[in-house]
Amino acid sequence: MNKRIVIAVDGPAGSGKSSVCKRVAADLGLQYIDSGAIYRAITWFFMDKYGDPDKVENPVLSLRDVTFSQVFDSSGKSRTFVNDKDVSLLIREESVAKNISIFSENSEVRDFVNAMLRSWASKESIIMDGRDIGTVVFPDADLKIYLDASVDVRTERRVKEYSDLGKNVDENYIRNQIIQRDDKDKSRQLAPLVKAWDAVYIDTSQLSFEEVVEKIKELIKRL
Ligand code: CDP
Does CATH number 3.40.50.300 belong to domain 31-124?
yes
Beta-sheet strand order (sheet of 78-82): 68-72, 78-82, 85-86
Topology match between the domains 1-15+136-216 and 31-124: yes
Low-confidence ranges of the chain (pLDDT < 70): 1-2
- DSSP letter assigned to residue 3: S
Q: What are phi and psi of 6, to 5 degrees?
A: -125, 120
Looking at CATH, the fold of the domain delimited by 1-15+136-216 is given as Rossmann fold (3.40.50)
For the chain, the domains span 1-15+136-216, 31-124
pLDDT at 3: 86
As beta bridge partners, residue 143 has 7
- Residue 155 Cβ < 6 Å to ligand 1: no
pLDDT at 75: 87
Q: Ligand 1 center to residue 219 CA distance, Å? A: 24
pLDDT at 10: 98
- Please tell me the distance from the alpha carbon of residue 149 to that of residue 75, in angstroms, as a whole number: 26
pLDDT at 33: 98
Please answer whether residues 111 and 101 qualify as being in contact, where contact means their C-beta atoms are separated by less than 8 angstroms: no
- Residue 181 Cβ < 6 Å to ligand 1: yes
